[in-house]
C-alpha cells in the first residue's frame, strides 16, 4: 500500500514538471505580438491614427465614441463648399454680402472670426480662406447660407453627406461647431446643443476631403492669414493649427487640417502630415489645452512615421506570375492578357517588410472587352501578418488595386461560337471514351 502511494506521488511530480515545462514554452507567436496596440499614454478622450490609402488604423483609443467636435465640424462645411464649386453652383470670385446672422456671429463672445461688418461683401475664396485658416465662424455661416440658403438647410446637407461617407457616429446641429444655445436669436434648435462626431468619423471626413478635393490642403497649410488685404483695415490672424511652419508646435510635413474648441469639446485637432511619400491622418479629442492637443498629435505622428512605411511591391502595367490572363466568354479569344492598373504599395512595419503574396481575383468576363477595362483586383497579403484594423469595412473589402485588360477582345460571331461549341462537344466525347 505504501509502495502504491509513493508511485502515485512520483507520477504526480513528473506530471507537474511536464505541465510547467509546457507552460514555459507556450509563448505567443510573433504575429500576435505584432498586433499589440501601442501604449502611447495619450491624455485624450479619444484618438485615432490612419494611413489613408490603405485605410489601416495604426492606433486607436475610443475611436467610435461620439463627442463634441467643435470647429472640426468645419471640415464638412469645407467639403460641401468645394463640392458646390465643383458643380458650378457657386464661383470662387462670387461676392457674398454680409448677412445679419454673420454680423451677429462675428460678435459672439470668444467666437473665432474675421469680424464681418454690415454692408461688406467678400468673395467666396476670401471667406473660404478665413474659415480654413482662421476658423472664422462668421465666414463659415455666410458660406453655409450661400450654399444652403440657410444654416438649417445647410446642416441637413451636412448630415446627409455624413451618411453618404459612412460616418456612423455623427450628427450636426450647426455649420460652425458652435453650440446651438450660443446663436442667440438665430438659434433654430435648442436640443441637442452640440454637434457630435467620433474620432473615426473625423478621420473618415478628413480622408474624404483630401481625396475628393486635394486643393483643400493648399489653404489649410497656410500659416497666417491677412483678411481684407490691401484695404485700410487689414486683419492679421495666425492659423489655429500650431503645427504648421513658423508656428509654436511646428512639425515637418504637416499641411492640415482643423482644430476645435468649446467648453464641452475641450481642445480637439484633426491633423495630417506627409513624410517619405506616406500621409497620415490623426485625430485627438478632449485634450486639456491648446498646447496639449498638438503634443498628443506629435506622439501619434512620431509613432506612425517611425514604425510604418509604404513599400512599392509592383509597378503599373505589370504581369503577375500565375495570373497572366483572365478567361473571357463569347470572345474571339478565350482569354485576355491582364496587368496591374496602378502602382501597388503596401503598408508595412519598418524592419518587417518580408514577402508579400499576390492574390488575384478576376471578374466573370463576357466579350467585348476594352483595353484598360477593369477586370479584377489584386491584393498583396503579408506572410505571417496579424489581423489589421481598418477605418471602414470597405477598406478591407476593396483593398489592393485593379487588374486591367492589356488588350481588347472582340465579341465572337455566332458562327464562330457555334463551331467552338461543336468542337468542345467532340473533345468532351473523346475524353469520356478514353477516360
Residues 9-46: tens digit of each pLDDT: 433 433 333 333 333 333 332 222 334 567 899 999 99
The whole-angstrom separation of Cα 143 and Cα 124 is 7
Q: For 78-99, how does the pLDDT look when each residue is reduced to its tens digit (9 = 90+)?
A: 999 999 999 999 999 999 999 9
Are the beta carbons of 396 and 381 closer than 8 angstroms? no
Question: Which part of the chain is CATH 3.40.710.10?
Answer: 46-309
The whole-angstrom separation of Cα 69 and Cα 255 is 20
Q: For 177-231, how does the pLDDT look when each residue is reduced to its tens digit (9 = 90+)?
A: 999 988 888 887 667 889 999 999 999 999 999 999 999 999 999 999 999 999 9
The model's pTM: 0.83
Q: State the pLDDT at residue 109.
A: 59
Confidence of residue 384 (pLDDT cuts 50, 70, 90): low
On the question of pLDDT at 258 being above 70, the answer is: yes
**Class at the top of the CATH hierarchy for domain 315-414:** mainly beta
Mean pLDDT taken over the chain: 87
The set of catalytic residues is 71, 74, 135
Are the beta carbons of 217 and 75 closer than 8 angstroms? no
Buried b or exposed e, range 404-424, using 16+ CB within 10 angstroms = bbbebbebbeeeeeeeeeeee
Q: Which of 77, 96, 65, 252 is nearest to 172 (CA)?
A: 77
114: helix, coil or strand?
A: coil
CATH of 46-309, one of 3.40.710.10, 3.90.230.10, 3.50.50.100, 3.20.20.70: 3.40.710.10
The whole-angstrom separation of Cα 290 and Cα 267 is 6
Question: Which part of the chain is CATH 2.60.410.10?
Answer: 315-414
3-state helix, strand, coil in the chain (%, to 5): 35, 25, 40
Q: What is the 3-state secondary structure (H, E, C) of 172-203?
A: CCCCCCCCHHHCHHHCCCCCCCCCEECHHHHH
Amino acid at each position: 500500500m505504501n509502495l502504491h502511494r509513493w508511485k502515485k506521488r512520483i507520477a504526480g511530480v513528473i506530471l507537474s514538471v511536464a505541465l510547467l515545462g509546457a507552460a514555459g514554452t507556450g509563448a505567443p507567436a510573433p504575429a500576435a505580438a505584432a498586433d499589440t496596440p501601442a501604449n502611447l499614454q495619450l491624455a485624450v478622450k479619444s484618438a485615432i491614427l490612419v494611413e489613408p490609402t490603405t485605410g489601416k488604423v495604426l492606433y486607436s483609443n475610443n475611436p467610435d465614441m461620439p463627442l463634441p467636435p467643435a470647429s472640426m465640424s468645419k471640415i464638412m462645411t469645407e467639403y460641401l463648399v468645394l463640392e458646390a464649386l465643383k458643380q458650378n453652383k457657386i464661383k470662387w470670385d462670387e461676392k457674398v454680402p454680409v448677412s445679419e446672422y454673420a454680423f451677429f456671429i462675428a460678435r459672439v463672445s470668444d467666437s473665432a472670426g474675421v469680424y464681418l461688418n454690415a454692408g461688406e461683401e467678400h468673395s467666396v475664396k476670401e471667406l473660404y480662406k478665413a474659415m480654413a485658416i482662421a476658423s472664422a465662424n462668421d465666414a463659415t455661416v455666410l458660406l453655409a447660407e450661400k450654399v444652403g440658403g440657410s444654416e438649417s438647410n445647410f446642416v441637413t446637407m451636412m448630415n446627409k453627406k455624413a451618411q453618404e461617407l459612412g460616418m456612423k457616429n455623427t450628427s450636426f446641429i450647426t455649420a460652425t461647431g458652435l453650440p446651438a444655445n450660443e446663436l442667440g436669436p438665430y438659434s433654430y434648435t435648442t436640443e441637442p446643443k452640440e454637434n457630435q462626431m467620433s474620432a473615426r468619423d473625423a478621420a473618415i471626413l478628413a480622408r474624404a476631403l483630401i481625396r475628393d478635393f486635394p486643393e483643400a490642403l493648399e489653404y489649410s497649410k497656410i500659416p497666417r492669414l491677412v483678411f481684407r488685404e490691401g484695404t485700410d483695415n487689414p486683419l492679421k490672424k495666425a492659423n489655429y493649427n500650431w503645427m504648421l511652419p513658423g508656428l509654436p508646435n511646428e512639425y515637418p510635413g504637416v499641411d492640415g487640417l482643423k482644430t476645435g474648441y468649446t467648453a464641452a469639446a475641450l481642445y480637439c485637432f484633426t491633423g495630417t502630415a506627409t513624410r517619405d511619400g506616406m500621409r497620415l491622418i490623426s485625430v485627438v479629442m478632449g485634450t486639456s489645452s491648446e498646447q496639449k492637443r498638438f503634443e498628443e498629435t506629435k506622439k501619434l505622428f512620431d509613432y506612425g512615421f517611425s514604425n510604418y512605411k509604404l513599400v512599392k511591391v509592383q509597378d503599373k502595367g505589370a504581369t503577375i506570375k500565375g495570373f497572366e490572363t483572365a478567361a473571357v466568354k463569347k470572345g474571339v479569344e478565350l482569354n485576355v492578357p491582364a496587368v496591374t492598373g496602378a502602382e501597388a504599395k503596401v503598408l508595412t512595419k519598418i524592419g518587417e517588410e518580408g514577402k508579400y503574396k499576390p492574390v488575384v481575383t478576376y471578374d466573370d468576363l463576357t466579350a467585348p472587352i476594352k483595353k484598360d477595362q477593369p477586370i479584377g483586383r489584386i491584393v498583396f497579403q503579408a506572410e505571417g501578418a496579424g489581423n489589421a484594423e481598418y477605418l471602414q469595412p470597405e477598406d478591407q473589402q476593396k483593398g489592393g488595386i485593379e487588374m486591367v485588360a492589356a488588350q481588347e477582345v472582340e465579341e465572337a460571331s455566332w458562327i464562330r461560337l457555334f463551331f467552338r461549341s461543336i468542337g468542345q462537344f467532340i473533345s468532351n466525347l473523346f475524353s469520356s471514351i478514353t477516360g
